[in-house]
Chains A and B, each alone.
Chain A
Amino acid sequence: MADFIVYATVLGSIVFFGGAAILAMAWSFRNGQFENFHKSSRSIFDADEPVGRVTDRFPDAPRSHGTKNSSSEASHRS
């Protein structure tokens, strides 16, 4: 009985994990997740914290290090 449980869970895991990975990958293809890498890599930036803006500093650091804007960053390749 114990052996059966072990085999069932191990085989079940393979099917479950493998199946889930295949389904997830198929979904992301259909959904267009792999279509535009340049745009995708920029999805974490927004108008308030755009590409080129540094967003972290030590609390006692001078303000000038906290904000750095350079338009050259925007053309950095994806």
Chain B
Amino acid sequence: MAASTVVNGLTSPNVSNADAGALAEEQCRAAKERAAIDSASRLPALAWLAGATFWLLWASFFGLVTSIKMHIPWFDVRVIMELGIISTLLSVPLMVLIARSKNLSLDAKIGFCTFAFVAAAALWLVLRTWVFDIRWSEHGGAWQTFGRTRMTHLSLIGYGWGTQAGIAGILWLVPRLSRTPLIYPNALIAAAAIWNVGIFAGVIGILAGLGTSVEWLDFPPFVPPFLIVSLAIVAAWGIVTFTRRQESHVYVTLWYCFGAMFWMPWLYTVAVIINIYSPATGVVQSACNWWFAHNVLGLWLTPIGVGAAYYIIPKVIGRPVYSYYLSIIGFWSLALFYSWAGMHHLIGGPIPPWMVSASTVGSMMMFIPVIAVGVNHHMTMLGHMGQLRYSPSLRFVVFGAITYTAVSAQGAIEALREFSEVAHFTNYTVGHAHLGAYGFFTMIMFGVFYYMVPRLTGQEWASSRLIRLHFWLCSVGIVIYFTSLSISGWFEGRQMNNPDYPFIQKMSNELPWLICRSIGGAMMSLGHVAWAILFVLNICGVGSRREGPTFFREKTSAEVEAELNGSTATPAEVALASR
């Protein structure tokens, strides 16, 4: 109600001076409060985000390698590494010259630097293969076999990127929505450090052959204690923040964030105990494994992604969610049904059929939250689609929200036994998993960061062109990836169901689709490089300073007077103009 009177006050020509003064004061207070809260979140959120971005690059690298190995089995990772190192050495002097030039715009500099790098790589390829006649090695060593690179990719996406990105988002969203500055920043930064040490040890461990082969818990047994301590710190911070909140209403995004922070530490700890330290025996272990693996998606990544979209979409376009009632239904039905869904991964497996049936029912019930969330996100956007042209974060978040509806509906249908007869154990499932973890979660998190980082650093993004490049590479990349694997997987399943169909024929039918997958994956990886460049430039302060609350200071009475005389600029802009 307060918000609507404010808007009417702003636009009504007959407003009295006293009212306008009170309004300006209130506007001033709100801007200051938000700036203070954002600045308290700055270091911890950026620390987690820096770790997330770092591991995202490595995860993309290992993912790409794994994908290429599916159609070029002898592919040697050292080819890429050598190419990368030599090209960097060759192009860095040129890049320094370009970066120092005073006549070039930032976009042109980035373009020339990229060109220098690609040219250096091409030069080295030609020199090495045709001039020096050195053959590429065909033996890579055990550390880069498919099993280990895939495990590394999955773990890095789940824990290196996904979890850290989620926590970075939480550390900014929760204080903002609770209207209380972030507390214990040092503990949270320490948690980020502990987490990243754990991830580093885990990656080395997996590559050395110590991986556990339990999907989603692949890290060697010495890693989980790091992660548990770190998660516990974040969860404890969440509880304390909840008790300190100034905003009496718990907005739907907060429900999702608190839910995620409450579920994840417990889930992970329990899963590690019953899968690694004191493993359940026999087929029970597979049930424990998939109970956890699905819940990581459903009760950790999904709530953060959906919750973030519930904040970013209304906030960017300046319109409350379509139906707040539905959003509440959506949260509680997700809390109720999602944890049931894990056993649908074991359809056809040697576990009691009632467990699978219960999971199938749970998966179908997920239609309730999915429809609620879908209706809400899309109806809120209705009539504001034009904003997609102007807002980078809205683009990513809306892409993710649309994908969420699609991927969840697809997932529920995949849980049906009849459907699984064809789709299970094929590339179809892999396509679905990437649509969820990438098309939905990762894209939404990118959107959150495009909104969050400038407000934390007070620095605008350095290049719109690079943002657009990031968006198009990632969105087109995931579409290619998903489409090719879905088509391939479906035919694969049909052919495997036919005992007369030669298996080797089925394998060679897949090849073109697997190459398409590598192309899609390469585009996404390039998009991540664009994101990493933007992030580093922003942190280093390249680009224009942000206008708005970051610069905020108390208004002078002259500025209030100026505003009353017809200017519609925000107090922050007035303050800025008078500097």
- Give chain A's interface residues, CB within 8 Å of chain B: 1-3, 5-6, 9-10, 13, 16-17, 20-21, 25, 28, 33-34, 37-61, 65-69, 71, 73-76, 78
Q: Give the residues from 1 to 46 in chain B that come closer than 8 angstroms, CB to CB, to chain A.
A: 1-4, 6-8, 10-11, 23, 26-31, 33-34
Known contacts A6-B274, A42-B3, A47-B23; A59/B460 CB under 8 A: yes
Chain A proximity mask over B438-478: 1 for CB below 8 Å, otherwise 0? 00000000000011000000001111100110000000000
Task: Assess whether B11 is in contact with A54, with CB atoms less than 8 Å apart.
Answer: no
Q: What are 21 inter-chain pairs, A to B, with CB distance below 8 A?
A: A3-B284, A6-B274, A6-B288, A17-B263, A25-B332, A34-B328, A42-B1, A43-B249, A44-B251, A47-B23, A55-B315, A57-B391, A58-B464, A59-B461, A59-B462, A69-B568, A71-B8, A74-B3, A74-B8, A78-B323, A78-B325
Which residue, of A3, A6, A56, has the highest number of chain B Cβ atoms within 10 A?
A56
Give, as a whole number of angstroms, the nearest-CB distance from A11 to chain B. Answer: 12
Per the bound structure, the CA–CA distance linking A52 and B7 in Å amounts to 8
Hey, which chain A residues are within 8 Å of B281, CB to CB? Answer: 2-3
List, in ascending order, chain B residues with CB within 8 A of A75's CB: 4
Question: A28 touching B7 by the CB < 8 A rule?
Answer: no
A67 to B480, CA, bound (A): 36
Taking a contact as CB atoms under 8 Å apart, the answer to whether A17 and B339 are in contact is yes
| With known contacts A59-B543, A78-B323, A47–B315 Cβ distance under 8 A | no
On B, residues with C-beta under 8 Å from A are 1-4, 6-8, 10-11, 23, 26-31, 33-34, 177, 247, 249-251, 253, 262-263, 266, 270, 273-274, 278-281, 284, 288, 291, 311, 314-321, 323-325, 327-328, 332, 335-336, 339, 387, 390-394, 450-451, 460-464, 467-468, 543-544, 549, 568, 570-572
Known A40-B251, A47-B23, A71-B8; further 4 A-B contacts with Cβ < 8 A: A28-B250, A42-B4, A56-B394, A75-B4
Q: Which residue of B lies closest to A13 (CB)?
A: B270
Q: What residues of A have a CB within 8 angstroms of the CB of B392 in the complex?
A: 56, 58
Q: Binding site of A, secondary structure by majority: helix, strand, loop or mixed?
A: loop
Which of chain B's residues have a CB closer than 8 A to the CB of A57? Answer: 390-391
When A and B form their complex, which 10 residue pairs have the shortest distance between CB atoms, in order from nearest? A46-B30, A41-B324, A74-B4, A48-B31, A41-B320, A48-B30, A56-B391, A37-B324, A47-B26, A6-B280
Main secondary structure of the interface of B (DSSP, over half): helix
Q: Pick the contact of A48: B247, B270, B323, B570 (CB < 8 A).
A: B570
CB distance from A74 to the nearest CB of B (A): 4
A34 to B251, CA, bound (A): 11
A-B Cβ contacts below 8 A, count = 174
Q: Is the CB of B250 within 8 A of A50?
A: no
